[in-house]
Amino acid sequence: MSYVSATPLAAYATHERPALSRRLAAGETLPPALLTMPTFGGTLAAVRALGRHGVPVTVAGSELLAPARWSRHARRFVHCPPVRDTSAFLEWLIRFGEREPGAFLYPASDDLAWLFASHQAELQKHFLLFQPPLGTVVRLLDKKKLYAACAEVGLATMPTWFPQDAAAVQQVLGELPLPLVVKPRTQVLLSTGNHGHLVERREDVVSAYADWLRRDRYLPGLLQDFGDVTSPMLQAFRRSATHTVYSLSGFVHRDGQLLGARAARKLLQRPRRVGVGLCFEDAPVELGLLDGVVQLCRRTGYHGVFEVEFILDGDEYRLIDFNPRFYGQMHFENARALPLPLFAYLAAVGDEAGLAALAEEARAHDSRGSVYCFQFAHHMLLTLRRVAGTSSAAETARWRRWGRDNRARMVDASADTDDWLPGIVHASAEVWNAARHARGYLRHSILEPD
């Protein structure tokens, strides 16, 4: 069984970028990049996209089993404090910038999107940033503020309630649809990283809300910028959400101009009902939705890389999340001639000619039929669910057939013939994390019904 990407990413990497090529041919040294959170798929995608085009990349982190750390496109690895130790991490970051000024810096998580925006004035003394202001980032990362902004530009969102306490939940209990999801208003500094808890019985709603308040707490440091976001939100859940999440990704320049976009449909996530994407397929760009997203960026003052998730609810797309940062399946965009990390880098260094060249190439590319998958994790999940009896033989066979049928056009999350070591590290990390957190992995990934 092979987990090596069949997509010719190495061939993609040889495409000439006129602005960068001229600078390299002239012997000019490109500004370096500092990329953090090397366990994240978006960081690996950024390392490859930048490193393949001559950008000297430094990867910073603390984990051994971090795929981006082992990419051949990373010039070096340096140790840094965990991002969620925000004071220590920020102190380290500033000291790094003082020693080695001029590196490109971009967020790979909600925590970093907020942290970089909150400390933009100090960071921009030492780093190349393409950073929207703090108010913009907070407005996009706080779901209550985000959904209000969506209403202003005509983007539909899922029916959502924002009760402040259990008593307020009790007051609206009769009007709440079932099933529903208890979800955080923001993922920033959420100690558990919980994406949501599904509730199917009305008598369980209040206790689920109270359990969330008790269990899913925020780390210190958020109150000054976000206000009190400790109370979770209640959102209508559509069972079709397990396979009808639609993702729009792209890049908006500082003047609000869209330079490129791609769309994908999430086919499988884990946990299956509320979780992180595992398998995607290329999808047509819905121009009406894209226009709404661009209007949302302009209304909120956002510029940079975006990934926006929608749920198809009947015949209407409803926005559920906006990621103003690098994101997990960004490698899919690299392979579809939309290297978003390179867009952000060129914007930060002010290379307008390079941006124009990238945008033109993105418009000319045809990615129809391509798919994306973390193949090792997918095969591991299929096997364990079949053994546990939570997936039928027919369901398992359907997914294995999907893998075989799409092998020639599949982009793997980490495995790549041109950069093979991160794929092995990623697979090892998957096994290690499943063993280390066996109870949670079993409950949320293996025993959860289809």
**CB 312 within 8 Å of CB 246:** yes
Q: Which residues of 30-62 are buried (b: 16+ CB within 10 A; e: fewer)?
A: bbbbbbbbbbbbbbbbbbbbbbbbebbbbbbbe
In this prediction, residue 46 carries a pLDDT of 98
Query: How is residue 110 written in tokens?
Result: 């909600």
Residue 164 sits in the same domain as residue 211 = yes
| 13 and 56 assigned to the same domain | yes
Residue 228 domain-assigned (yes or no): yes
Q: Are residues 127 and 190 in the same domain?
A: no
Q: Does some domain include residue 385?
A: yes
In CATH, what number is assigned to the domain containing residue 87? 3.40.50.720
- Per-residue pLDDT, averaged over 357-367, amounts to 89
For residues 116 and 39, state if they share a domain. Answer: yes
Verify that 95 and 191 share a domain, yes or no.
no
> Amino acid identity of 426?
H
The CATH number that applies at residue 167 is: 3.30.1490
126 lies in the same domain as 173: no
- What's the chain's average pLDDT? 91
User: Is the residue at 387 inside a domain?
Assistant: yes
Span 408-436, pLDDT tens digits: 999 999 999 999 999 999 999 999 999 99
Return the pLDDT at 437: 87
Bigger pLDDT: 247 vs 22: 247
What is the span of the domain harbouring residue 45? 9-132
pLDDT band at 159 (very low <50, low <70, confident <90, very high): very high
Please report whether residue 281 resides in a domain. no
Q: Is residue 100 part of a domain?
A: yes
pLDDT at 369: 87
Joined together, the tokens standing for residue 317 give 């797309």
pTM of the complete model: 0.92
Same domain (yes/no): 169, 118: no
Q: According to the model, what pLDDT value does residue 20 have?
A: 61
Domain closes at, from 86, 114, 132: 132
Summarize the confidence of residues 23-38 as an average pLDDT. Answer: 81
90 and 199, same domain (yes or no)? no
Number of neighbours of residue 401 by Cβ within 10 angstroms: 10
In a domain, 367, yes or no: no
Instruction: Give domain status of residue 90, yes or no.
Output: yes
Of 206-210, 257-261, 336-340, 386-390, least confident by mean pLDDT is: 386-390
Residue 366 has pLDDT above 90, yes or no: no
Q: Round to whole Å and give the CA distance between 47 and 67.
A: 10
Looking at the structure, do residues 14 and 128 belong to the same domain, yes or no? Answer: yes
- Has residue 276 got a pLDDT over 60? yes
Determine the Cα–Cα distance for residues 20 and 16; give it in Å rounded to an integer: 8
One domain for residues 84 and 13? yes
Q: Would you say 409 and 369 are in contact if contact means Cβ atoms under 8 Å apart?
A: yes
Same domain for 24 and 93: yes
Count up the domains in the chain and report the number: 3
pLDDT of residue 2 exceeding 50: no
Q: Does residue 96 sit in the same domain as residue 177? A: no
Q: Which of 190, 214, 236 is the last residue of a domain?
A: 236
Q: Is residue 266 part of a domain?
A: no
- Between CA 416 and CA 423 the distance in angstroms is 7
Domain boundary at 236, 259, 277, which?
236
